[in-house]
Structure formats: structure tokens, C-alpha cells
Amino acid sequence: MRARDDQTSLSGPEKAAVLIMSVGDAYASQLFAVMEADEIQEISQSMSELGPVSAVMVEQLFAEFSEKISTPNNLVGTPEATERLLKKVMGKERGDKIMNSVQTSGYDTMWTMLEDVNEQLLANYLKNEYPQTVAVILTKLRPKHAAKVMAALPESLSLEVVDRMLDMDSVTKEVSDDVEETLRREFISTLSKSENKDSHEAVAEIINSLDRSTENRLMARLEESDQDAANKIKKLMFTFDDLTKVDAAGIQTLLRVVEKKTLIVALKGASESLKWKFLENMTQRTEQMMQDDLAAMGPVRLREVDEAQAKIVAIAKDLFAKSEIIFSDDGESELIYQGVGNRG
């Protein structure tokens, strides 16, 4: 299917769908959180029917959006205007110093967005870069995320990267700025990968990031308007209940790495079948202790249950990606898990 590349052919909801898909799951879920249910439903339906969208169209839409918010009726600040004002009021030296600080902080959003990129995808991109470049990028990430990316890199490259990280004093500001700017361009390009990403998968990722009540409300509306799209999205969503499809060995692997407190809270809100799935894979003594802990625990907020289940789902996805656990469909055939979202 040929990717659409002319933004004039898109309706308003379709333009909104492209823009929301382009900013990533974390920011898209924040946007959805402030919308009405009918707005979310309309945009989600447009997403599911959108088909391939070219990077050119994404750029055109962002340009159009930027132009519309920069009309004479609006007061719009720009780096150039800010720099002129600072130099006029505070002098060139102090103005340059403040602008440098402001421009540097502008990268915070970019690095925050980078935290949402799957470590394997990021490693695949970085493995073709110079070790020095990889070192600069990894030092900008949270240690936990950087460690996952490092583990996914070829061993020989990882060793070189570590050497460069230990010698980071030799990196000039110019080199650091170049790396940030290059990565910004590459990252924005990656976000506009709609040509290769199924629109139903994109919607599933976003819905998986919503709280449970919003998700249920949205899916109910989508089922009313487009049952076929709703069914496709449901198949792509991965929930805590899907852990019933993990074999005994996989459950035991999960039990070894999931914190006990997290598991107790997650099971407090689990179905009886899933609760038993975990209990039957424990030793008799551990099972009894878990039963006692569950019985002794008072009421738990739904949000706490969701958060605990989401943590376990994230761990399960990581283990699946490493082929350390297997999902099966009622024991009859292997389930090809497409891995989207992270909510339980």
C-alpha cells in the first residue's frame, strides 16, 4: 500500500491522528487524558483507518500546525526574539550565557522522549554509530534504561563504549551539541515511521497506556462504531490476564524476578484462574505464605493494582523479548506476541 503524502487530503480528525501518533505513546496518552470520550473515539477510529503515512506528510502537518499557532493574532515567542531582547537588556555576554542555558534545556524533552524508545530498537540504531557517539547518548539516559541499551549492543562495541564513557572529559561541547542535534533529527524521523507501523498497533499502544476506566470507556465506544477495528486492537493489546498463556516454566521465571510485594498487590486484583496460575507454580510453603499475605491484606486501590500489574507485564515483555518465557494459546499453538503497550 502506497503511503499517503499530501496533507490536504486529510480531514481534521485524521490530521490530529497523525500528529498524535508521531509524538509517541507517553505524550499521546497525556493528550488523550484531557479529551472527551467522543473526541478520543473519533481520533482513534481515524488512526485505525489511516493506513501508511509518509514522513513527508508528517513534516507537512507539523509545519502547518506551527504556522497556524504563529498567526498575527497570537503572541509567539521565538529563540531569535528572545536572544535580541536579552542582549538589548543585559548585554551580549550575559545574553549569550542565558540563551545557551535555555537552548541546552530545550533538549530535555528530546531525551525524555528517547526514554520511551524500546532498548532493542535504540541499540539497533546505535550499533552503527561511533563508540564515542554512543557513549555521549548513553550518559544522557537514565542508568536503568542505558543499561538495557548497553546489554543489547554487540559485546565488542559495549567495551569500547565503556572506555569512552570513562574518558568523557575529552568530549568537547561542540561534539556533544552535534550528537544531540543529529539524534534529535534521527529520533523525530523514527517517530514518523508510520510507513512500517500498522495503525491498529499504534492505537493499541496508546490505549494500553491509558488508565483502566478511560480504556474501558474508549473501547466500548469503538466497539459501537467499528467492531472490526476494536477486535483488531484488542488482539494487539497485552494485559495482565494474558499471563494465563505463559507456561509453567515461564511463570516460575517471573516469580524469580518479580518483587514479592508487587506480586501480592497484583494478585489481589487478579482473576481466580490467574491467581491460581501463580500459586500452583510455587513451593507448598511459599504458596501458603502468599495465601496468608493475600488474606491479611486489606482493600487495595484499583490504581495500585494497575501499577503493580503493569510492572509485571513490563517484566514479562522483556523476558519474552529475550526468549526466556513463552506464550501459548490454550496450550495448542505458540502465540506470536507483537508486544505493544505496558499496562496490566
pLDDT in tens, 247-289: 899 999 999 999 999 999 999 989 899 999 999 999 999 999 9
Residue 153 has pLDDT above 90, yes or no: no
Q: Report how far residue 144's alpha carbon sits from residue 1's, in angstroms, rounded to the nearest whole number.
A: 39
Q: Does residue 230 fall inside a structural domain?
A: yes
Evaluate whether residue 224 is within a structural domain.
yes
> Would you state the pLDDT for residue 325?
85
Asked whether residue 177 is domain-assigned, the answer is yes
CATH of the domain at 246: 1.10.220.30
Mark 13-51 as b/e (b = at least 16 C-beta within 10 Å).
Answer: bbbbbbbbbbebbebbbebbeebeeeebbbbbbbbbebe
| Residue 96 falls inside a structural domain | no
* 245: pLDDT strictly greater than 80: yes
> What does the block give as the cell for 82?
528572545
Within this chain, do residues 210 and 247 fall inside the same structural domain, yes or no? no
Residue 207, C-alpha cell as written in the block: 490505549
| pLDDT band per the 50, 70, 90 thresholds, residue 343 | very low
- What secondary structure letter does DSSP report for 3? P
Q: What is the pLDDT of residue 336?
A: 36
**Domain boundary, last residue among 123, 158, 191:** 191
Which whole number is the average pLDDT over 99-113?
55
List the beta bridge partners of residue 329. Answer: 333
> With left for phi above 0 and alpha for psi between -120 and 50, is residue 330 left, alpha or beta?
left
Instruction: Calculate mean pLDDT across residues 92-113.
Output: 58
pLDDT, average across residues 66-85: 57
pLDDT higher at 330 or 147? 147
Let me know if residue 67 belongs to a domain: no
Within this chain, do residues 147 and 157 fall inside the same structural domain, yes or no? yes
Instruction: Answer whether residue 318 shows pLDDT above 60.
Output: yes
For the chain, the domain total comes to: 3
Range of the domain at 212: 1-54+194-237
Within-domain flag for 69:
no
- Single out the residue in 176, 191, 206 at which a domain terminates: 191
Asked if residue 138 is part of any domain, the answer here is yes
Domain shared by 220 and 312, yes or no = no
* Residue finishing a domain among 191, 225, 253: 191
Residue 256: predicted pLDDT: 92
Task: Give the model's pLDDT for residue 338.
Answer: 38
Same domain, 254 and 180: no
| Domain match, 309 and 243 both | yes
Shared domain check, 325 and 283: yes
130: helix, strand or coil:
coil
* Residue (of 202, 142, 149) closest to 341 by Cα position: 202
Cell readout for 111 is 531525551
**Average pLDDT along the chain:** 75
Q: Which are the contacts of 160, defined by CB distance < 8 A and separation ≥ 6?
A: 131
